[in-house]
């Protein structure tokens, strides 16, 4: 099924406003320059008569357009640039590392460039990221039996009070409460439809939401309350397989996900989410059909609310539920994303 692009005026307005909600839904080619861009490109915007729109980067290339060097339409938005990869690899291998501006310069990296990337893509400073990595490691050590004072000095802190203060500011609780608390590690997973916020505990993935979803902050708070946990950025053993499976899905090489999930909801919500996972790839169901399978044909609205409360997009495929009349309704990530996902699956079933 070929994707139907939004109206030309809608796309041009999105281009003018650098609207991230249209990432992955169209690309714009500028006739006067021969260059094509993402909707969010920061380059000067052309007049509407000089623009044509494409469903994919491949279509733009086939029409002779060259990719823009500013917005890199052939890569995922937010992808780690080559100049930063070695630094992140070093941090992942040694989460306790401390790096000052001079350390970055010795590695041939401009500190201001690092700060901009972290602020623009992760929403926190580089030093806050390093601090969160150290505290995340410290939490694991304490939870598995290491003494707090030993953990503090092994994490590079010069005093126990400094470690305790940093730990509490990051996690919301003191180190000696680690055995009764849980941490949800947060990262970003890239996709053709924009970055996703992923969260994981020791048991599995508990969060996968589009970063620009309007209710994402509310969902994060609900998740924290449900799991009695705090959120910190960092690494988790489930992030690598999650990234791999999401990439395979968008490349049309995966129809089912095998990564462990942590469902944090009421008994009814979890029942609805489990039923969602029975909808075959490339198929759809109505909310009414979902209610019938759940066992309560009159609970259509309750089923719809539970769908909306789903915090694990794509893997728990709430995008496969449509209106009884066949129309696309109700998707937290935006109906344009729902349409993209359904089109992707229907042509590959």
Please identify every residue annotated as catalytic. 318
Strands 35-37 and 66-67: parallel
Separation CA 173–CA 151 (nearest Å): 16
φ, ψ for residue 35, nearest 5 deg: -115, 145
Residue 123: DSSP 8-state: S
Do 320 and 284 touch, CB atoms closer than 8 A? yes
SS3 category, 279: coil
Rounded Cα gap, residues 80 and 85, in angstroms:
6
Q: Tokens representing 23?
A: 């990432």
∠246-248-250 over CA atoms, to 5°?
70
Closest to 186 (Cα-Cα) out of 154, 161, 208: 208
Alpha helices (H) in 47-195, listed in sequence order:
57-62, 82-93, 101-106, 111-122, 126-143, 148-154, 160-171
Q: Tokens in use for 204?
A: 């599995």
- Characterize the bridge pairing of strands 229-233 and 27-30: unpaired
**Alpha-carbon dihedral sign for residues 277, 281, 287, 289:** negative
Judge whether 125 and 170 are in contact, CB under 8 Å. no
Contacts 24+ apart (CB under 8 A), 208-211: 208/242, 208/311, 208/312, 208/313, 208/314, 208/315, 209/311, 209/313, 209/332, 209/333, 210/313, 210/332, 210/333, 210/334, 210/337
């Amino acid at each position: 099924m070929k994707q139907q692009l939004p109206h030309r005026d809608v796309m041009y307005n999105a281009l003018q406003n650098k609207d991230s909600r249209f990432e992955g839904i169209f690309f714009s080619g500028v006739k006067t320059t021969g260059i094509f861009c993402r909707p969010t490109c920061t380059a000067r915007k052309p007049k509407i008569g000089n623009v044509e729109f494409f469903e994919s980067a491949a279509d733009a290339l086939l029409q002779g357009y060259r990719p823009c060097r500013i917005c890199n339409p052939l890569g995922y938005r937010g992808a780690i640039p080559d100049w930063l990869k070695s630094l992140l690899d070093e941090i992942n291998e040694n989460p306790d590392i401390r790096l000052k501006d001079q350390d970055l310069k010795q590695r041939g990296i401009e500190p201001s460039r690092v700060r901009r990337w972290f602020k623009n893509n992760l929403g926190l400073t580089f030093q806050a990221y390093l601090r969160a990595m150290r505290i995340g490691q410290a939490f694991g050590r304490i939870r598995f039996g290491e003494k707090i004072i030993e953990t503090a000095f092994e994490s590079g802190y010069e005093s126990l009070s400094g470690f305790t203060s940093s730990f509490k500011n990051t996690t919301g609780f003191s180190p000696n409460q680690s055995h009764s608390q849980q941490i949800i590690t947060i990262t970003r997973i890239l996709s053709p439809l924009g970055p996703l916020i992923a969260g994981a505990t020791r048991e599995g993935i508990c969060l996968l939401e589009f970063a620009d979803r309007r209710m994402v902050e509310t969902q994060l708070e609900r998740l924290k309350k449900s799991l009695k946990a705090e959120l910190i950025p960092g690494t988790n053993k489930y992030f690598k397989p999650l990234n791999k499976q999401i990439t395979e899905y968008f490349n049309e090489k995966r129809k089912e996900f095998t990564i462990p999930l942590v469902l944090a909801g009421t008994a009814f919500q979890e029942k609805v989410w489990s039923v969602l996972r029975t909808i075959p790839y490339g198929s759809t169901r109505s909310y009414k059909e979902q209610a019938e399978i759940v066992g309560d044909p009159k609970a259509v609205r309750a089923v719809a609310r539970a769908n909306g409360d789903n915090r694990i997009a794509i893997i728990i495929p709430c995008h496969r539920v449509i209106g009884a009349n066949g129309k696309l309704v109700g998707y937290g990530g935006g109906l344009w994303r729902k349409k993209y996902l359904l089109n992707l699956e229907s042509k590959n079933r």
